[in-house]
Amino acid sequence: MARKRKENKNDKVLTLKRRLLAHNSPKDPVAEQYRTIRTNIQFSDADEEIKALLVTSSGSAEGKSTTASNLATVYAQQGLKVLLIDADLRKPTAHYTFRLENHAGLTNVLTRQSTLGQGVQESEVPNLYLLTSGPIPPNPAELLSSNQMTELLKEMKQEFDMVIFDTPPILAVADAQILASQVDGSILVVSSGKTDKEAALKAKELLVNAKSKLLGAVLNNRKVYDENYYYYYGSN
């Protein structure tokens, strides 16, 4: 009986590089799709500047964190000062993707244990900064709905050209809904062949009910000529 090969350090590094494709392989067709998504967002509303957006999905493992990280990367590549916030205070992953420490982050800032300036870290991507989740709290929803979060978002928008929140799946917990009402727009990520249609429609409904401006949906993991492409569909 063949034994399952253990994942070694090189496997993990390769996985991380794939997650940050827009930085590690900027000429890849998928990286170009992220730039297309960025352009579509920028032209989604000529009357209102979008400086803070949220990325979520209906369920887990649908690619929302990968989408958020790469979207933040292509904004930074445009010369904008970008802040990516890991607002998944239950299963944070951004610090793994960018290979940074997570001893302090968003939860420390929200509980006034540190300032925004102390919590933000530089990433390997020029112009891209990261605010990791920090220690996992017992009350994520309460922290995200606090007055401190409202004030923090104002400070973020003053300090950065673009602020992107990576949130938990919206059907799992209320966290994404809470933040959706505070940002300028939201993006829903769906996975081809995995995301249930009814789940996607329910996720959209929750975002609308939160009075969030749904900018569109990203369909990922769609196989086309043996390549994974990311598609963006603007909402009406």
Tell me which architecture the domain covering 28-234 has in CATH.
3-Layer(aba) Sandwich (3.40)
Q: Smallest Cα–Cα separation from 60: which of 168, 165, 144, 132?
A: 168
| pLDDT score for 6 | 43
> What distance in Å separates the CA atoms of residue 125 and residue 97, rounded to the nearest whole number?
12
- Taking the C-alpha atoms of residue 117 and residue 111, their distance in angstroms, rounded to an integer, is 14
Give the pLDDT confidence score for residue 221 in this predicted structure: 73
Name the pLDDT band for 234 (thresholds 50, 70, 90). Answer: low
- List all residues 6 or more positions away from 54 whose beta carbon is below 8 Å from its beta carbon: 87, 164, 165, 167, 176, 179, 180, 183, 185, 186, 187, 212
The owner of tokens 């992220």 is 34
Reported as a single tens digit per residue, the pLDDT across 79-136 is 999 999 999 999 999 999 999 999 999 999 999 999 999 999 999 999 999 999 999 9
- Full-model pTM: 0.86
Query: What is the Cα–Cα distance from 9 to 191, expressed in whole angstroms?
Result: 28
Q: In the chain, what percentage of residues exceed pLDDT 90? A: 72
pLDDT of residue 46: 62
Which amino acid belongs to residue 136?
I
Answer whether 168's CB lies under 8 Å from 176's CB.
yes
The tens digit of pLDDT for each residue in 195-213 reads 889 999 999 999 999 999 9
Say if CB 169 and CB 59 are below 8 A apart.
yes
